[in-house]
């Protein structure tokens, strides 16, 4: 009976470790937002390599700092123009080339004092290694906001916020499962030790009587 309990708890422990690894890799910042690059100046190119644990849709987004204080809610901002050529190369001869001519305002953070813009949805088919290259083909600096304040281009997974929260919940639940399993194995081990001690004492007493 004790052996069955031990192997059952061990199986639960292995399950907890597997869930922890899954939630860590799928919910990590490297898998959720794998690319952070400065907006390139006119005629310049920025590039980066990255790895994702699962394929999916990603938003090529842009964030720029607010020029002044914003009181109350974030007012809608007009779209901003750009002349970006975005090239993503992956394994198995994957290649995606897009020309981003406009970023649409998607929100803002008053606390971070940042405007957020969405440029294009890019689908990456599978887990693996990728390389992204962003070339600014504008020679006239038509994207004035970014030329004055700078900006950051990110590749952010295009999924519901609830999905990210579920990964976080699974992460915490995995730690709880692992902790309970370890405690359970300790209790079983102590119980087996006492059982052996009692059996040994009983055997010694009977041997003495004989």
Confidence at 209, pLDDT banded by 50, 70, 90: very low
Q: The CATH number of the domain where 41 resides is what?
A: 2.60.120.790
- Token readout for 187 is 């209790």
| Per-residue confidence band for 50, with pLDDT thresholds at 50, 70 and 90 | very high
Q: 8 with 50, same domain?
A: no
Could you identify the residue written with the tokens 């902790």? Answer: 179
Same domain? 12 vs 116? no
Range of the domain at 175: 2-20+167-204
Same domain, 200 and 180: yes
| Interatomic CA distance for residues 204 and 201, integer angstroms | 5
- Residues 176, 136: one domain? no
Best CA proximity match to 141, nearest among 52, 5, 41, 45: 41
Do 173 and 197 lie in one domain? The reply is: yes
Within this chain, do residues 99 and 172 fall inside the same structural domain, yes or no?
A: no
Q: What is the largest CA-CA distance in the chain?
A: 105
What is the domain count for the chain?
2
pLDDT in tens, 112-159: 578 889 988 999 999 999 999 999 887 665 555 565 667 889 998 887
Mean pLDDT of 17-26: 68
CB 104 within 8 A of CB 120: no
Cβ contacts of 27-30, under 8 Å, gap ≥ 24 = 27/164, 27/167, 27/168, 27/170, 27/171, 28/53
What is the pTM (predicted TM-score) of this model?
0.66
Same structural domain for residues 97 and 196? no
Q: Are 119 and 61 in contact (CB under 8 A)?
A: yes
- Per the domain annotation, does 28 fall within a domain? no
| Residues 133/12, Cβ–Cβ less than 8 Å | no
Alpha-helix residue ranges (DSSP H) falling in 2-45:
2-27, 29-32
């Amino acid at each position: 009976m004790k052996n069955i309990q031990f192997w059952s708890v061990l199986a639960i422990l292995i399950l907890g470790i597997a869930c922890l690894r899954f939630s860590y890799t799928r919910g990590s910042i490297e898998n959720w937002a794998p690319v952070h690059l400065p907006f390139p100046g006119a005629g310049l190119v920025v590039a980066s390599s990255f790895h994702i644990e699962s394929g999916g849709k990603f938003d090529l987004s842009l964030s720029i700092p607010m020029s002044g204080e914003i009181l109350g809610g974030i007012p809608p901002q007009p779209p901003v123009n750009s002349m970006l050529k975005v090239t993503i190369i992956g394994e198995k001869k994957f290649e995606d080339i897009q020309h981003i001519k406009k970023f649409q305002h998607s929100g803002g953070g008053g606390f971070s004092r940042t405007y957020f813009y969405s440029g294009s949805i890019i689908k990456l088919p599978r887990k693996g290694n990728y390389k992204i290259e962003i070339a600014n083909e504008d020679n006239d600096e038509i994207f004035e906001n970014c030329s004055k304040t700078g900006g950051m281009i990110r590749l952010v997974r295009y999924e519901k916020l609830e999905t990210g929260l579920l990964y976080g919940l699974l992460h915490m639940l995995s730690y709880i499962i692992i902790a309970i399993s370890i405690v359970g194995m300790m209790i079983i081990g102590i119980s087996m030790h006492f059982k052996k001690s009692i059996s040994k004492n009983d055997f010694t007493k009977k041997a003495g009587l004989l």
